[in-house]
């Protein structure tokens, strides 16, 4: 029998709150984290707004914070969320804690702390539209901290976490775009199931709110350009949706083997019951129009969880607010859950916090755990006009009380990566 994996700690840094309690309260209060971009001058960009993390006091969260002065925003968010999750779990206080059986698996992307400084060096070294490589190299060597180059690597958050929390077990990072942190949770679950670790710190962190990130998504016509009303821009499944809102942040979970958790009397939020992962094998930036990979991954997660469709009480949708994604995800939910899809509440919390890219799935997994715990489902805000192609129950604009025992969390990434997690209440 495969070993069971439960969640014993959670942490989050997001545009609607810098700890899990605030994030959950904000979701149930329908608070919105979208506003004008402040990280750089976006006045000439087609999209001038994003969902930024605000009022985040990193130094108050992390002892010896000065050692991370050159760390990217991704690492800073990851460290803050991880500190909350580790403290919440309390496993390090247990006499039986073995660092060699504790690992890290993240789905973390970039977080370029020095992007504007880097671009200024490029500009200074440019003459007549071309970069003088020697001039640039000399300026880079003289004026940039040597740690900067290493901080560009997406594995750096995982490296920092292992150092801070003495995680001597497996240490990995995957970057499968918007599916990354959900995939990390699924793969970390498999590590514990097969006996290679007893505890895993898993989740994701990302910050793409910089000129390159915003302009790239604008060129893909993926971002909303509703500059006259940023707070209503993210409107998943609504007929008038016109793109997603870029966000940033981190979500972290402590995954623990059940008997290990029980032996130390741990508080248990719920269980990672099922995991499915597939590829569309289609186009790089488009989901398969019939939801082929997404349907397969939902069915795979159900089979792994050994539950039937009717046991799913809630779907936390990927729900980006792009026209194609929401339409195809609706098809995928119906393909994965059959007729039960029409009886299952669905919502997208991206309507409030924007799209955290690699970090999105982890924060949404935490949402599922809290929905199960408290018997209340977060809404999809800004839902005004139904779309005939999106014909499910999207919990519009207000939270809904509902006792559920299992939830499906979907994450679909650029490149055709699909991940589904089944998260359930813990039953001994």
Reported as a single tens digit per residue, the pLDDT across 313-348 is: 999 999 999 999 999 999 999 999 999 999 999 999
Model pLDDT for residues 93-146, shown as the tens digit of each residue: 999 899 999 999 999 998 765 666 667 767 777 877 787 777 777 766 666 555
Is the distance from CB of 415 to CB of 284 less than 8 angstroms?
A: yes
The answer as to whether 131 is a domain residue is no
Task: Return the active site residues.
Answer: 178, 318, 355
Q: Is residue 137 part of a domain?
A: no
The fraction of the chain above a pLDDT of 90, given in percent, is 84
pLDDT(352) > 80: yes
Share of residues in the chain with pLDDT > 70 (%):
94
Across the range 237-260, mean pLDDT stands at 98
Tell me the pTM: 0.94
| CATH number where 376 lies | 3.40.47.10
Residue 270 included in any domain: yes
Tally the domains of the chain: 1
423 DSSP assignment: E
Structure tokens at 32: 């919105």
Mean pLDDT (whole number) for 41-66: 95
Q: What is the pLDDT of residue 382?
A: 98
Asked if residue 126 belongs to a domain, the reply is no
Model confidence at 182, in pLDDT bands (50, 70, 90)?
very high
Does the pLDDT at position 271 exceed 90?
Answer: yes
pLDDT in tens, 278-307: 999 998 878 899 999 999 999 999 999 999
Give domain status of residue 188, yes or no.
yes
Q: Where are the beta strands (DSSP E) in 129-247?
A: 130-131, 171-173, 199-207
User: If pLDDT is split at 50, 70 and 90, which confidence band does 72 have?
Assistant: confident
> Tokens standing for 362?
């982890």
Q: Which helix (H) or strand (E) holds 346?
A: strand 346-347
- Residue 303 belongs to a domain: yes
How far apart are alpha carbons 418 and 179 in whole angstroms? 6
Give the pLDDT of residue 149.
57
Q: Residue 89 falls within a domain, yes or no? A: yes
- Of 12-16, 48-52, 143-147, 271-275, least confident by mean pLDDT is 143-147
Domain contains 139 = no
pLDDT attached to residue 189: 98
How far apart, in whole angstroms, are the C-alpha atoms of residue 93 and residue 96? 9
Structural domain for 171, as ranges? 5-112+152-424
Residue 303 tokens, joined: 């089979």
Q: Which two tokens stand for residue 138?
A: 């000399």
Average per-residue pLDDT in the chain? 94
* Residue 69: per-residue pLDDT: 83
């Amino acid at each position: 029998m495969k070993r069971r994996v439960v969640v014993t700690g959670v942490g989050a840094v997001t545009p609607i709150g810098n700890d899990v309690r605030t994030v959950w309260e904000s979701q149930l209060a329908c608070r919105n984290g979208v506003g004008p971009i402040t990280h750089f001058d976006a006045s000439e960009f087609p999209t001038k707004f994003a969902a930024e993390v605000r009022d985040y006091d990193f130094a108050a969260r992390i002892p010896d914070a000065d050692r991370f002065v050159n760390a990217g925003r991704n690492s800073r968010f990851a460290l803050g969320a991880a500190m909350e999750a580790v403290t919440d779990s309390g496993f390090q206080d247990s006499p039986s804690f073995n660092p060699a059986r504790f690992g890290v698996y993240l789905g973390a992307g970039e977080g370029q702390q020095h992007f504007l400084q880097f671009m200024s060096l490029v500009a200074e070294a440019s003459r007549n539209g071309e970069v003088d490589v020697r001039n640039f190299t000399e300026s880079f060597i003289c004026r940039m901290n040597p740690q900067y180059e290493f901080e560009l690597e997406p594995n750096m958050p995982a490296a920092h976490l292992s150092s801070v929390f003495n995680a001597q077990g497996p240490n990995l990072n995957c970057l499968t775009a918007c599916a990354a942190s959900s995939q990390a949770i699924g793969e970390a679950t498999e590590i514990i199931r097969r006996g290679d670790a007893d505890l895993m710190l898993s989740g994701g962190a990302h910050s793409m709110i910089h000129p390159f990130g915003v302009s790239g998504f604008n060129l893909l016509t993926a971002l909303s350009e509703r500059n006259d009303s940023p707070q209503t821009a993210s409107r998943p499944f609504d007929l008038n949706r016109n793109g997603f809102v870029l966000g940033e942040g981190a979500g972290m979970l402590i995954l623990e083997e059940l008997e290990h958790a029980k032996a130390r009397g741990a508080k248990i939020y719920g269980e990672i019951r099922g995991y499915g992962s597939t590829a569309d094998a289609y186009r790089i930036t488009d989901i398969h129009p019939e939801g082929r990979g997404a349907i397969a991954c939902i069915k795979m997660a159900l089979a792994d969880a050994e539950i039937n469709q009717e046991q799913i009480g809630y779907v936390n949708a990927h729900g980006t607010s792009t026209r194609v994604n929401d339409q195809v995800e609706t098809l995928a939910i119906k393909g994965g859950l059959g007729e039960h899809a029409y009886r299952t509440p669905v919502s997208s919390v991206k309507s409030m916090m924007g799209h955290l890219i690699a970090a999105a799935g982890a924060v949404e997994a935490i949402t599922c755990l809290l929905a199960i715990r408290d018997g209340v489902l977060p809404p999809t805000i800004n839902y005004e006009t139904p779309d005939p192609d999106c014909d499910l129950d999207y919990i519009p604009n207000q939270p809904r009380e509902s006792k559920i025992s299992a939830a499906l969390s979907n994450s679909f990434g650029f490149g055709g990566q699909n991940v589904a997690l089944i998260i359930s209440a813990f039953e001994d």
